[in-house]
Structure formats: structure tokens, C-alpha cells
Amino acid sequence: MSDTQSKIMWHVLFGMLLEELLPPVGISVQKELQLLSKPPKADIVLLKRKPGQWTDEQLARLPDGIRETHANDILLEFKYTESIDEDTFEQALRYHSLYKQMQSLTNEQVQTFIVSAKQTQARRLSEWGYVKTGLKGVYHHPDHFLLRNIPLLSLNELSDEPHNAWVKCFASRIVMKKRAFGILRKFFEETGFNPLRVKLEQVLAGLWQFWFVEKGDEMRSTLTEEQVQEMGKMWGKTFLSNLTPAERLAGLKPAERLVGLKPAERLVGLKPAERLIGLKPAERLVGLKPAEVLAGFKPAERLVGLKPAERLAGLKPEDFDEIEKLIKKRGKKR
């Protein structure tokens, strides 16, 4: 393991991607867990969801193995640079047991996965009793009463389905990484999938730049969440510039579309009648002077609803003389 690789908190970056990908579909993500009374924190990622079946939106973002579990609390022990060995399974079992005890949960409610960026030799897997499932890259132990709760996901071996591509971006083999990014780009184009959450685009773009543009393992001694996002901003802006206005706004709530706009900017393009929709009569008149409120009304319309005394309020004595003359004049006409 190089000094560069050892300084990078890969499980945090892995969790960072999931943290942008999963909460919009109802799956919470916690990048590190405090399983002991004192530090250090466990290098695992926790996924939590409500009981019930996975939704279609959730399944589109979850890899094989995880999307088949019925557990509500899912622990992911992610190994990017390290190879899987006996210590890995011991640690996973310890995390699984500690978390289950702390949360007072059963084995049915908690599922722990070892997620490996590297591909483990078939001989080693056989020695440990792990066998293939019907899903590529997903292994389980059918016999051991403890390890059967700890499946293994091999990112290099997962199928090329879009739902696997999210995590397969962290596969160890360059060709698998590139294939995963290509699958996601094609998925965006063909389905109109809108990842805004803009930060999700920036995370993917930053990882791409680190691995394939800067050749990260040689160029940087560390890689933080902030650095990943910063590297991804330029690519993310380029992506957004190619979207139509409707595509940029897709998936945003009405209130979210208006954030940052001044009141006058929110009304641009609306007809007068459209600006007033939803307002009560009194709300439509707020801020207007009396003369402005009455503008456009005929004299008779201005007096509608007023009592006789209210119509005469504010008149001068000479005004009454004029009214008396008008009354007499009308009387003669009759």
C-alpha cells in the first residue's frame, strides 16, 4: 500500500457518493460510526431505511446483493486498497455484533456487507467457504452460522447494470472504473435521469478527474471530500450548461425553483391576471394608495356598497348646495 493510498479515507469518499445518491429516495447515510465508547470510529458506512419493500427509485441506486436484502439497517465495510483476509471477516463480525447490541436489533434487521474494490482470488474464497450466488460479484457463506450474515461484494465483478455502476466507480481495475462512468453517462442521457443534487454530479466528476485526469495516486498525498467536490465543480458546470431550462428544474419543488430570485424576478413573464391568482381581494390591494385602488372605476362603481351617510362623508357645505340643486333639477324632469 502506497503512502498516498494509506492517507486517503476511501470509506469516507465512498460514503460521500452514497450520501448524495441515496437520501433523496429515502435511505439515510452515515459515513462513520462510533461503535466504541472512545475513538476511533469504525471505518464503515451505515445505510438506514424504513421497513418494507424497496421502491423502484431505491432499486435504481442500489447494487446487487444490497438490493436483495430485507434488512433495514445495512453496514458496509468498504475496502479499497486492502485485500480481503481473515482479519476483514473478524472485523466485520465485530462491527455487526456491536451495532446489533447497541441498537437492540436482530440478525433479520441488520445486514453487514464487505465491499471490496479488489477481486479476491477464487482459491482464497473457497478456503473461507464463500461461494458464488446467482448474481455476478456477490458471494455468501451458506454454512457458517455467523458469516452467512456477512456477504461479500466484489466491485470488479458486478454486472454492468446501471444500478451497479454507482458503486462500481470505486472498482480497483481502471477498465472497470471507466466502464462504470460510461454506463452512468449513457444512463443520464437515455433516461433523462436528473441527479440534481448538483453535488452528486460534482462528486462523480471529481472522482473522474482524480483517477483519470490527475492520475491521483501519484499527484496527491491526500484526497478529502472538499477536494473531490472542488475538482468536480468545473465538469458539473459544463454539464449544467448543456441542459435545457426544463431539465435544470426537473425534480425541484416549486419553492426550490424560486430560491435566490427577487420578488420582481419571480413575476417576469406573467400576465397581470396570472400575478393575482391565489390572492384574496384585500391582498391584491396591499401597498396601493386610495386613488390607485379606485383608478378605472366609474363614479357609480366607486359608491357600490356604501351607505348614504358614507357617500356624503367629507363633503363641504357648498357641495351640499350643489347636491340640492341637482335633486331639484331631477325633480322638475320627472
- Distance in angstroms (rounded) separating the CA atoms of residues 37 and 35: 7
Helix (H) or strand (E) holding 331: helix 317-333
pLDDT digits (tens, 9 = 90+) for 81-131: 889 999 999 999 998 999 999 899 998 999 999 999 999 999 999 999 999
For residue 209, tell me if it sits in a domain. no
User: What's the predicted TM-score (pTM) here?
Assistant: 0.66
3-state secondary structure of 44: strand
Give me the number of domains the chain comprises. Answer: 2
pLDDT digits (tens, 9 = 90+) for 277-300: 888 878 778 888 878 777 878 878
Are residues 266 and 186 both part of a single domain? no
Q: Over 50: is that where the pLDDT of 239 sits?
A: no
Q: Identify the domain boundary among 156, 174, 193.
A: 193
Q: Identify the domain boundary among 142, 171, 193.
A: 193
For residue 204, tell me if it sits in a domain. no
- Distance in angstroms (rounded) separating the CA atoms of residues 85 and 82: 9
Q: Identify the domain boundary among 193, 210, 236.
A: 193
Mean pLDDT of the chain: 80
Question: Cβ distance 114 to 88 under 8 Å?
Answer: yes
For residue 188, tell me if it sits in a domain. yes
| Domain region containing 33 | 3-193
Give 75's Cβ-side CA count (13 Å radius).
29
Q: Name the one residue in this structure whose C-alpha cell is 324632469.
A: 333
- Set of cell numbers at residue 48: 438506514
- Distance in angstroms (rounded) separating the CA atoms of residues 179 and 326: 92
Q: Over 50: is that where the pLDDT of 1 sits?
A: no
Q: Name the one residue in this structure whose C-alpha cell is 340643486.
A: 325
Q: Over 70: is that where the pLDDT of 74 sits?
A: yes
For residue 208, tell me if it sits in a domain. no
pLDDT recorded at residue 196: 46
